[in-house]
């Protein structure tokens, strides 16, 4: 009976031990230059970014601006950089207010947090602008509930891409 009791105690104690997963060490050929370790971030940040974009698409431009920091740094698709909201408005206000961006669709939202605590939303989307359909890849950095930095890349969609998959233009 004592042996059975001892066996049960050992079994119960071993069941309470945390499982430690081991991962194989990978030998990557390149070292990241910005941050090495990332984890999944908050869906609240995705909501912030989507509300910004929805405001712009719906024509509520001032509401869209309210999601952006006054000191926003915006790396534009053409390689230029603006370093505050007023500069951003000088470039985009007229186009945004004229409804230049239409048919917006989001394919991917990934909220992430870097090892230094920077919160980002990585986004892939598509929209029509100035008579052209463009695919965008954007990274929005969030700080204190405001968008403080945006990196934007884009490319025009080739007409054949739209015809090949008209239900989902995010290839």
Q: What is the CATH number of domain 59-157?
A: 3.10.450.50
Domain ranges of the chain: 59-157
- SS3 for the chain is CHHHHHHHHHHHHHHCCCCCCCCCCCCCCCCCCCCCCEEECCHHHHHHHHHHHHHHHHCCHHHHHHCEEEEEEEECCCCCEECCHHHHHHHHHHHHHCCCEEEEEEEEEEEEEECCCCEEEEEEEEEEECCEEEEEEEEEEEECCEEEEEEEEEEECCHHHHHHCCCCCCC
Per residue in 42-67, pLDDT (tens digit) is: 999 999 999 999 999 999 999 999 99
Quickly state the pLDDT bin for 169 (edges 50, 70, 90). Answer: very low
Mean pLDDT of 66-87: 96
**Per-residue pLDDT tens digits for 115-146:** 999 999 999 999 998 889 999 999 999 999 99
pLDDT for position 22: 67
Confidence of residue 23 (pLDDT cuts 50, 70, 90): confident
Tell me what pLDDT residue 31 has.
86
């Amino acid at each position: 009976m004592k042996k059975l009791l001892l066996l049960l105690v050992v079994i119960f104690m071993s069941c309470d031990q945390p499982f430690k997963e081991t991962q194989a060490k990978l030998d990557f050929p390149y070292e990241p230059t910005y941050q090495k370790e990332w984890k999944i971030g908050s869906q609240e940040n995705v909501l912030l970014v989507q509300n910004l974009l929805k405001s712009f698409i719906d024509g509520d431009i001032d509401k869209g601006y309210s999601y952006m920091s006054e000191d926003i740094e915006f790396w534009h698709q053409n390689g230029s950089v603006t370093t505050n909201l007023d500069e951003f408005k000088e470039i985009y206000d007229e186009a945004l207010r004229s409804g230049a961006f239409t048919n917006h669709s989001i394919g991917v939202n990934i909220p992430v947090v870097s090892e230094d605590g920077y919160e980002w939303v990585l986004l892939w989307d598509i929209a029509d602008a100035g008579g052209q359909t463009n695919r965008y890849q954007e990274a929005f950095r969030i700080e204190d509930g405001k968008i403080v930095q945006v990196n934007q890349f884009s490319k025009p969609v080739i007409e054949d891409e739209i015809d090949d998959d008209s239900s989902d233009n995010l290839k």
